[in-house]
């Protein structure tokens, strides 16, 4: 033969036992999945709003409306939020957009994989593509919302600083953290719908423990909880970069980002090795 | 190199679970075992589990085509999924060499809202084509699928046949070393099936194929060897295609032989070549090419009009393959006596060796070619097995007089 044939072996042994081989195939599948991920991303984006009148506006209508409600409630002195460094409407809208991006990323892996069940159980394609597609979609939707943020920054005359250059890193970290947690939960979530339900409910609860609509509280019992929340440093730093140019929680930001990267790798390995088992349990 | 083994399956088994709750929990267990580096998966059956595929082995070389046959639920699709790496075997080892293509479900990944054009690109990438590759093959795909007019129509407005055509057209562009095909040709009209088969024929020399189908004529046409499985276990594996197909036919639950009677007639005895077929559901065996004699002993329950008789041979797939009609020989019957005998004789039985059911119909004759009431009908009055050395892919094997001149 003119070329050596690629040999693929399927056996019951754990793939983790030949870790080097696993790493190599993870890498090659990641490379191989780029093209497919791009294709699926285009497919999802073009299909997402095709059967809709308002189309892409749906990317920022929900965060805009929730923000308006918070702004209204605060203006009526129902919330009593402490003073923020930038006008409260700008503060809330930026916060809500960032929070929405985080929860999008959190839900994305389980959602994309669940939607592709039929494909997963029929075709052998690099499974990484689904996750990459999910990330791409989250970033795309953020990009639309970013227009809203830019508009708000200009409207409220927030001064332009070098922090704007760091803000994209903050957004990536938020997306990374969300994707990582979502991906860790995906194998179990494919088997049990409890995960999806808990995720929906947990996200709501976490919202109130994250300084989205209020600034980081000073010393109090709640402040400790809020501090332990990994989303806090990422969201607060990113908003700081956008609004005032320097981040107040930079060390927390670095810690959480580093941990995210390590756990992301763990989640990826788990996702890969569990997939054949999950398919045999969920496929018809 | 025709002797290179592209597919090597050694003692492969796969468990399934009957209960959903348990199945999910076993799934959690299996994943955990992988994570804690267990060498093997749980090797024994747990509660509510059964072997969907049990200890199956075979080898396949380039240029060969394995016909994988078995009744529904035999484990064919599970085996294909393991070959394709979608699910892991619980026991055994599978070694696949080269690029693997699978036609397991065509058009998986089609988005109903997107147009055919967009879906071709998506489906192509899912199957592992690059963008340039698809662009280059785009016209060939559209041409093959015969969907030029609808290329910018959302796929949700396609008929199911059109979707399958489009799916196959994309998949047909693959040039795999190993091709797995799971009963995808059953849909689609005759001309498209013919197209698919000729496409498969084109690549068959360079490919090792595993072909799943319930159509035995198709299997005996394309397969060079047979793996026949039932309830996960191998019934037959080898190059002897006729024997393989025969082993499959024994697994099929078909019509029960039923006794024959109606308001007009009651069948008291039915003999084929002197074997009583009705009383104890005996299977009549006739060697190919030998004479066939069917005798009925009938009792009439009321005065009957003039009638004609039709005997049909129904194959295992419920298709009528041959019939003998008394009107063809210009004969009708009318009986005054209460019991009488009705018989038909064939000089030689030319049915392709295999299992058949004998269908009997007695039809009121109204003169000319007009038919009246059906006086007696039985779909499976007797079972007939035609034996023979050679099994063809056509239901009838004619015997010719052959000549050869210099």
Q: What is the ipTM of this complex?
A: 0.83
Q: Which residues in chain B have their CB less than 8 angstroms from residue A191's CB?
A: 24, 27-28
* pLDDT tens, chain A, 284 aa long: 455 778 888 988 888 888 898 899 899 889 888 888 998 898 888 888 888 888 888 888 888 898 899 889 888 888 777 778 888 889 999 999 999 999 999 999 999 999 888 888 888 888 999 999 999 999 999 999 999 999 998 998 888 888 888 999 999 999 999 999 999 999 999 999 999 999 999 999 999 899 998 888 877 788 888 888 999 999 999 999 988 888 888 999 999 999 999 999 999 999 999 999 999 888 65
Q: How many residues does chain A have?
A: 284
Torsion A234-A238-A239-A240 (CA) sign: positive
Q: Structural domains in chain B?
A: 5-99+175-249 (3.40.50.300), 265-387 (2.70.50.60)
Residue showing tokens 């195939």: A25
User: Contacts for B69-72 with beta carbons within 8 Å, 24 or more apart?
Assistant: B69/B212, B69/B213, B69/B214, B69/B216, B69/B219, B69/B226, B69/B227, B69/B228, B69/B229, B69/B244, B69/B245, B69/B248, B70/B228, B70/B229, B70/B230, B70/B235, B70/B248, B70/B251, B71/B230, B71/B248, B71/B251, B71/B252, B71/B253
Average pLDDT over residues B210-230: 88
- Give the H/E segment covering residue B102: strand B100-103
Name the residue among A14, A17, A51 with its Cβ closest to that of B113: A51
Q: Phi then psi for B139, rounded to 5 degrees?
A: -65, -40
For A121, the 3-state DSSP assignment is coil
Determine contact: B73 vs chain A, CB below 8 A.
no
CB contact under 8 A, A35 and B125: yes
What lies within 8 Å, CB to CB, of B161 at 6+ separation is: B187, B188, B189, B192
First-to-last C-alpha distance (Å) of chain B: 36
Domain ranges, ordered by start, for chain A: 26-45+86-282
For B238, the 3-state DSSP assignment is strand
* DSSP states along A155-212: HTTPPP-THHHHHHHHHHHHHHHHHHHHHHHHHHHHH-THHHHHHHHHHHHHHHTSTT
Determine contact: B37 vs chain A, CB below 8 A.
yes
CA nearest to A188 within chain B: B28
pTM over 0.95: no
Residue showing tokens 């058949």: B356
CB contact under 8 A, B97 and A125: no
Q: Which residues in chain A have their CB less than 8 angstroms from residue B33's CB?
A: 14
Q: Of B158, B162, B78, B168, give the one whose Cα is nearest residue B127.
A: B168
> A169, exposed or middle or buried, with CB in 10 Å at 0-12, 13-18, 19+?
middle
Q: Of A236, A234, A238, A273, give the one whose Cα is nearest residue A256.
A: A234
């Amino acid at each position: 033969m003119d070329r050596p044939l690629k040999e693929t072996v399927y056996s019951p042994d754990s793939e983790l036992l030949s870790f080097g081989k696993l790493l190599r195939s993870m890498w090659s599948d990641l490379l191989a999945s780029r093209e497919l991920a791009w294709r699926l991303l285009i497919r999802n984006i073009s299909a997402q709003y095709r059967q809709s009148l308002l189309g892409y506006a749906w990317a920022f209508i929900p965060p805009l409306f929730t923000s308006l409600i918070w702004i209204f409630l605060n203006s009526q002195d129902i919330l009593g939020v402490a003073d923020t460094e930038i006008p409260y409407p700008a503060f809330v809208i930026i916060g809500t957009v960032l929070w929405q991006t985080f929860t999008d990323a959190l839900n994305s892996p389980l959602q994309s994989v669940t939607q592709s069940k039929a494909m997963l159980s029929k075709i052998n394609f690099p499974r990484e593509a689904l996750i990459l597609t999910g990330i791409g979609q989250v970033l795309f939707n953020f990009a639309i919302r970013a227009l809203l943020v830019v508009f708000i920054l200009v409207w409220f005359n927030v001064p332009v600083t070098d922090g704007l250059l760091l803000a994209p890193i903050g957004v990536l970290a938020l997306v990374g953290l969300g994707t990582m947690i979502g991906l860790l939960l995906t194998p179990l979530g494919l088997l049990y719908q409890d995960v999806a339900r808990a995720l929906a409910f947990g996200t709501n609860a976490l919202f109130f423990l994250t300084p989205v609509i209020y600034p980081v509280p000073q010393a109090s019992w709640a402040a400790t909880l809020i501090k332990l929340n990994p989303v806090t440093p990422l969201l607060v730093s990113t908003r700081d970069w956008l609004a005032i140019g320097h981040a107040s929680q930079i060390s927390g930001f670095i810690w959480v980002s580093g941990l995210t990267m390590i756990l992301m790798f763990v989640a990826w390995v788990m996702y890969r090795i569990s997939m054949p088992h999950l398919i045999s349990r969920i496929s018809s | 190199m025709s002797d290179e083994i592209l597919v090597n399956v050694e003692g492969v088994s796969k468990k399934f679970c009957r209960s959903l709750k348990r199945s999910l929990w076993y799934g959690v267990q299996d994943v955990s075992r992988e994570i804690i580096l267990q060498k093997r998966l749980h090797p024994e059956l747990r509660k509510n589990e059964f072997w969907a595929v049990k200890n199956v082995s075979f080898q396949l070389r380039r240029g060969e085509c394995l016909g994988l046959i078995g009744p529904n639920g035999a484990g064919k699709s599970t085996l294909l999924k393991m070959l394709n790496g979608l699910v892991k075997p619980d026991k055994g080892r599978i070694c696949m060499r080269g690029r693997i293509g699978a036609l397991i479900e065509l058009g998986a990944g089609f988005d109903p809202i997107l147009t055919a054009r967009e879906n071709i690109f998506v489906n192509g990438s899912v199957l592992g084509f690059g963008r340039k590759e698809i662009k280059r093959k785009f016209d060939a795909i559209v041409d093959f699928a015969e969907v030029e007019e609808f290329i910018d129509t959302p796929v949700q407005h396609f008929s199911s046949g059109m979707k399958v055509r489009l799916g196959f057209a994309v998949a047909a562009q693959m040039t795999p070393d190993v091709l797995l095909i799971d009963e995808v040709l059953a849909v689609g009209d005759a001309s498209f099936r013919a197209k698919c088969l000729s496409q498969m024929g084109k690549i068959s020399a360079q490919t090792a194929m595993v072909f799943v189908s319930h159509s035995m004529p198709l299997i005996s046409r394309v397969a060079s060897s047979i793996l026949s499985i039932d309830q996960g276990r191998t019934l037959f594996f080898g190059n002897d295609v006729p024997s393989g197909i025969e082993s499959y036919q024994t697994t099929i639950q078909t019509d029960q032989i039923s006794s024959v009677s109606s308001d007009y007639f009651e069948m008291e005895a039915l003999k084929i070549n002197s074997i009583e077929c009705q009383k104890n559901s005996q299977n009549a065996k006739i060697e190919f090419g030998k004479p066939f004699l069917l005798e009925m002993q009938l009792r009439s329950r009321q005065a009957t009009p003039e009638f004609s008789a039709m005997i049909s041979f129904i194959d295992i797939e419920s298709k009528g393959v041959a019939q003998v009609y008394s009107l063809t020989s210009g004969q009708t019957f009318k009986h005054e006596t209460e019991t009488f005998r009705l018989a038909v004789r064939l000089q030689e039985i030319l049915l392709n060796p295999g299992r058949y059911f004998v269908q009997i119909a007695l039809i009121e004759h109204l003169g000319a070619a007009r038919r009246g009431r059906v006086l007696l009908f039985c779909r499976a009055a007797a079972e007939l097995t035609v034996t023979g050395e050679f099994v063809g892919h056509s239901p009838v094997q004619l015997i010719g007089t052959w000549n050869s001149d210099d």
